[in-house]
């Protein structure tokens, strides 16, 4: 979606400069700076406790930063008047948000809309998030996935220019997650600026135009997912499934940095164009035994692993 107007990219929706939030001596956010362009999906990726939610809450004027500056749509978050302007123009999905149990889908949306006075037509909004059949169902009777859809809808009632989604898919089953991705893609098509936090690397890779990887309050890498993967993801690799020691020995003769994994898979980093045909030819010529050949491209997970030496499993560092 970046393509639909290079001029749009020049306009900045969120600008953050040396933002710091300290609790005692601990810096939850430790001097981060970044820019989010209008119409962009910006993903803040990192493990739990990295400073994602703190950053979001500073940007939506729920917390005061210890130091540093931030502007949303040109309005200063440190300024009272600026905050009022920001609140009118943003939509926020707080982490673990649950709305009123005993109000229906429609009543819930109307409730939040009244807080702004004007905004999107609620019926149209219900249609947008595909909750038409449940419009008069109480929130407490919705499934987890539908609850999240309504939660997303509440961020749109004022037709905001910038939307903050704090871990919108945490705790959802895979299907509901995909569902949520489609919804976010839909918002992207409406040229909304979306600031998204997640600890799922695949989510960021699929949805984001720009990814900032945050760890211990610091941004350790930032850029388009493809760029980051190219820079930090390592090489595309040929995986010889269940090749075992014989295949490892065979390929190590002609290629460098071949790895034998614990489960018997053999990984061959493809450094030169000729590496792939050479490896395949060698396997064929020696009638090597293996289960399958797969060419594996690195993902954001490799980027995080290469940068920190750790993996994120269920949000925690491993």
Q: Tokens 């954001």 correspond to what residue?
A: 300
Nearer residue to another protein within complex by CB, 151 or 305 = 151
Binding of another protein by 34 (CB under 8 A): no
Question: 288 CB contacts (<8 Å, ≥6 apart)?
Answer: 240, 243, 246, 247, 250, 282
- Contact between 96 and another protein by CB under 8 A: the answer reads yes
Should residue 141 be labelled a site residue for another protein when binding is judged by CB under 8 A?
A: no
- Among the listed ranges 10-18, 61-69, 188-196, 233-241, the one in contact with another protein (CB under 8 A) is 61-69
We find the least distance from the C-beta atom of residue 138 to another protein, in angstroms, to be 8
CA atoms within 13 A on the CB side of 103: 12
Choosing from 17, 20, 49, 94, the residue that interacts with another protein (CB under 8 A) is 94
With respect to another protein, which residue has the nearer C-beta, 61 or 128?
A: 61
Order of strands across the sheet that contains 41-45: 90-93, 162-166, 193-198, 41-45, 210-215, 218-223
Find where tokens 């190590």 sit: 252
Distance CA 198, CA 181 (A): 12
Instruction: Single out the residue of 8, 22, 63, 218 in contact with another protein (rule: CB under 8 A).
Output: 63
State in Å, rounded, how far the first CA of the chain is from the last one. Answer: 34
Phi and psi at residue 4, in whole multiples of 5°? -75, 45
Q: Does 218 bind another protein (CB under 8 A)?
A: no
User: CA angle, corner 230, sides to 225 and 231, nearest 5?
Assistant: 100
Sheet containing strand 266-269, edge to edge, reads 259-260, 266-269, 237-241, 292-296
If binding is defined by CB under 8 A, does position 55 make contact with another protein? no
Residues 163, 314: Cα–Cα separation, whole Å: 25
Stretch that binds another protein, among 107-115, 167-175, 211-219, 264-272 (CB under 8 A): 107-115
Stretch that binds another protein, among 4-12, 87-95, 178-186, 265-273 (CB under 8 A): 87-95
**Closer residue to another protein in complex, CB, 62/291:** 62
Counting contacts by CB under 8 A, is residue 26 touching another protein? Answer: no
Q: How far is the CB of 216 from another protein (least distance, A)?
A: 20
d(CA 167, CA 242): 37
**Which candidate, 185, 179, 190, 152, places its Cα nearest to that of 168?**
152
Whether 191 contacts 3, CB under 8 Å: no
* Tokens standing for residue 281: 């030819």
Instruction: Using the rule CB under 8 A, give the single segment among 89-97, 240-248, 250-258, 299-307 that binds another protein.
Output: 89-97
Given the complex with another protein, which of 115 and 291 has the nearer CB atom? 115
Answer for which of 55, 154, 170, 210 binds another protein (CB under 8 A) is 154
The residue count for binding another protein (CB under 8 A) is: 33
Asked if residue 103 binds another protein (CB under 8 A), the reply is yes
Nearest-5° angle of CA 144, CA 150, CA 152?
Answer: 105
Q: Is 22 one of the binding residues for another protein (CB under 8 A)?
A: no
Shortest Å distance, C-beta 155 to another protein: 9
Stretch that binds another protein, among 60-68, 214-222, 244-252, 266-274 (CB under 8 A): 60-68
Token reading at 130: 């595909």
Q: Which stretch binds another protein (CB under 8 A): 43-51, 83-91, 142-150, 287-295?
A: 83-91
Residues that bind another protein (CB under 8 A): 57, 60-64, 84, 87-88, 90, 92-103, 107, 110-112, 114-117, 138, 154, 158
């Amino acid at each position: 979606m970046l393509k639909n107007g290079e001029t749009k990219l020049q306009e900045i929706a969120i600008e953050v400069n040396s933002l710091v939030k300290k609790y005692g001596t601990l810096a939850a956010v430790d001097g981060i700076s970044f820019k989010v362009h209008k119409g962009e999906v910006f993903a803040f990726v990192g493990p739990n406790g990295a400073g994602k939610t703190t950053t979001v809450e500073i940007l939506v004027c729920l917390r005061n930063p210890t130091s540093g500056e931030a502007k949303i749509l040109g309005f200063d978050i440190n300024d009272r008047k600026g905050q009022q302007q920001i609140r009118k123009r943003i939509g926020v999905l707080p982490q673990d948000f649950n709305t009123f149990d005993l109000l229906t889908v429609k009543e819930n949306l109307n409730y939040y809309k009244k807080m702004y006075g004007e905004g999107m037509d609620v019926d149209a909004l219900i249609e947008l998030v595909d909750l038409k059949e449940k419009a008069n169902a109480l929130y407490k009777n919705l499934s987890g996935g539908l609850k999240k859809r309504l939660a997303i809808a509440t961020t749109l009632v004022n037709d905001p220019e910038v939307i903050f989604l704090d871990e919108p898919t945490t705790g959802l089953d895979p299907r509901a997650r995909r569902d949520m991705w489609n919804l976010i893609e839909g918002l992207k098509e409406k040229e909304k600026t979306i600031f998204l936090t997640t600890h799922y690397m695949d989510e960021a890779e699929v949805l984001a135009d720009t990814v900032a990887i945050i760890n211990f309050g610091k941004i350790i890498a930032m850029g388009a997912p493809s760029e980051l993967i190219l820079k930090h993801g390592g090489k595309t690799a040929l995986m010889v499934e269940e090749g075992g020691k014989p295949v490892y020995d065979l390929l190590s003769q002609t290629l460098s940095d071949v790895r034998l994994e614990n489960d018997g898979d053999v990984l061959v980093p493809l450094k030169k164009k000729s590496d792939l045909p050479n490896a395949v030819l060698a396997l064929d010529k020696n009638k090597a035994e293996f289960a399958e050949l797969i060419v594996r491209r690195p993902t954001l997970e490799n980027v995080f692993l290469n940068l920190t030496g750790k993996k994120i499993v269920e949000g925690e560092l491993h």
